[in-house]
Amino acid sequence: MSDETSQQCGKPRILVVEDEESIRGGLCDVLAYHGWAPAAVGSGEEGLDRGLREKFDLVILDLMLPGLSGLDVCRRLRHQIPSLPILMLTAKGSEDDIVHGLRCGADDYVTKPFSVRELVARVEALLRRSREAAPETFDFGPWEIDAAGLRATAAERTIHLSGREVELLRIFGQQADRVVSRRTLLQEVWGLINVDEIETRTVDVHIAKLRKKIDTGETSMIETVRGVGYRATV
Please report whether residue 165 would count as binding Ca ion according to CB under 5 A: no
CB of 16 to Ca ion, least distance (A): 12
Which part of the chain contacts Ca ion (CB under 5 A), choosing from 12-20, 90-98, 135-143, 222-230?
12-20
CB of 69 to Ca ion, least distance (A): 10
Which part of the chain contacts Ca ion (CB under 5 A), choosing from 13-21, 111-119, 131-139, 226-234?
13-21
CB of 175 to Ca ion, least distance (A): 41
Q: Which is nearer to Ca ion, 66 or 135 (CB)?
A: 66
Q: Which is nearer to Ca ion, 64 or 159 (CB)?
A: 64
Contact 231, 179 (CB under 8 A): yes
3-state SS record for the chain: CCHHHHHHCCCCEEEEECCCHHHHHHHHHHHHHCCCEEEEECCHHHHHHHHHHCCCCEEEEECCCCCCCHHHHHHHHHHHCCCCCEEEEEECCCHHHHHHHHHCCCCEEEEECCCHHHHHHHHHHHHHHHHHHCCCEEEECCEEEECCCCEEEECCEEEECCHHHHHHHHHHHHCCCCEEEHHHHHHHCCCCCCCCHHHHHHHHHHHHHHHHHHCCCCCCCEEEECCCEEEECC
Supply the Cα-derived Rg of the chain in whole angstroms. Answer: 19
Pairing of strands 13-17, 58-62: parallel
Task: Categorise residue 95: left if φ over 0, alpha if ψ from -120 to 50, beta otherwise.
Answer: alpha
CB of 77 to Ca ion, least distance (A): 17
Please report whether residue 57 would count as binding Ca ion according to CB under 5 A: no
CB of 103 to Ca ion, least distance (A): 20
Please report whether residue 19 would count as binding Ca ion according to CB under 5 A: yes
CB of 218 to Ca ion, least distance (A): 57
Residue whose C-beta lies closest to Ca ion: 64
The contact pattern for Ca ion, residues 60-99, with x = CB under 5 A and - = no contact, is --x-x-----------------------------------
Which part of the chain contacts Ca ion (CB under 5 A), choosing from 59-67, 144-152, 176-184, 205-213?
59-67
With CB under 5 A as the rule, give the number of residues binding Ca ion. 3
Q: Which is nearer to Ca ion, 64 or 68 (CB)?
A: 64
CB of 65 to Ca ion, least distance (A): 6
* Interface contacts to Ca ion, rule CB under 5 A: 19, 62, 64
